[in-house]
Amino acid sequence: MKKKAQKLKEQQQSMAAGQQGENIKDLRLLLDNVLQLSFSQEALLNQHKDGRQSDGLMREVLRKQRGIITDARQVEDSLLALSKRVPDIENVVMEES
């Protein structure tokens, strides 16, 4: 019986370590996505600042901005899902969202 209990405990620890590794991987992916969004937004602002205020340019800037907003919402949703799996970050995420 003790062997079964020990084996079960080892399996639980292994699963917890695997889940933690997956959570870290997800968090790194989210950080990469946030950085990419930031660079995209900065490039868009620079393009808008350097360009003329023509209707065609404004339409293109607005189209790209809508894409950035959509991507940001997906990152936010992913972060909220991760925070529900990782109680250590849940309070911070909920305060900031």
Confidence class of residue 28 from pLDDT cuts 50, 70 and 90? Answer: very high
Q: pLDDT: is 11 or 72 the higher one?
A: 72
Domain boundaries, the chain: 2-96
Q: Which two tokens stand for residue 87?
A: 């109680």
pTM above 0.85, yes or no: no
Phi, psi of 8 (to 5 degrees): -65, -40
- The number of residues making up the chain comes to 97
Predicted local confidence at residue 52, as pLDDT: 63
Average pLDDT over residues 63-67: 93
